[in-house]
Amino acid sequence: ADLSKAIIIFVLGGPGSGKGTQCELIVKKYGYKHLSAGDLLREEVKKRTPLGKEMEGLMKEGKLVPTEVTVRLLRQAMQSSSNHKFLIDGFPRALDQAETFEQEVKPPELVLFFDCPEEEMKKRLLKRGESSGRSDDNEETIVKRFRTFLDCSMPVVEYYERKRKLAKISAVPPPDEVFVEVEKAMDSLPS
């Protein structure tokens, strides 16, 4: 598909803030294609390639996979979709990633930011870790993910706030209540 006509929404928020949960609700109501950068990376890891093994190590340490890897996976997934509206979940996670994506693909129309205290996110992730099978849902890695989020990803949130593209939403209430605020931001987009 021709990505110059794509409509892009970035979905940001700390680990366990509820990005994936809200994306599912958005897909149901607004018909976007949901692309989770983390899910795309975990699919690559499953292939057991040398690159996949390297990425697995970085994710286990709560570090960021190199920008070119994520951008390539996202672009491939976008090009092979028949939809032209994309919810990009968990990306960009650093300023250079935002710049690269904007130059190589397109700037987003809107950026949703799910704001959540670390204590709440930690509680959710430890609970999910009981059954998720995700190698990064353990106390040690969770702390590292929080650190990376604050150091690398919060500057992205601030960047889009300055550009007046950010909708900051509290992620603390139950999912359906968070979604009411998401709807307000979505409905502000030109249709």
> Binding string to ligand UP5 for residues 24 to 63, with x set by CB under 6 A, is what?
------------xxx--x----------------xx--xx
Of 76 and 132, the one with the shorter C-beta distance to Mg ion is 132
Asked if 168 contacts 115 with a C-beta cutoff of 8 angstroms, the reply is yes
Determine, following the binding rule CB under 6 A, whether residue 13 of this chain makes contact with ligand UP5: yes
CB neighbour class for 48 (10 Å; exposed up to 12, middle 13-18, buried from 19) = exposed
> Binding string to Mg ion for residues 5 to 44, with x set by CB under 5 A, is what?
--------------xx------------------------
CA-CA distance, 30 to 25, in Å (whole number)?
8
- Least separation, in Å, of the C-beta of 78 and ligand UP5? 14
Annotated binding residues, written as ranges, equal: 16-21, 42, 63-65, 90-93, 128, 134, 145, 173
Q: What are the residues binding ligand UP5 (CB under 6 A)?
A: 13, 15-21, 36-38, 41, 58-59, 62-65, 70, 90-91, 93, 124, 128, 136, 145, 171, 174-175, 178
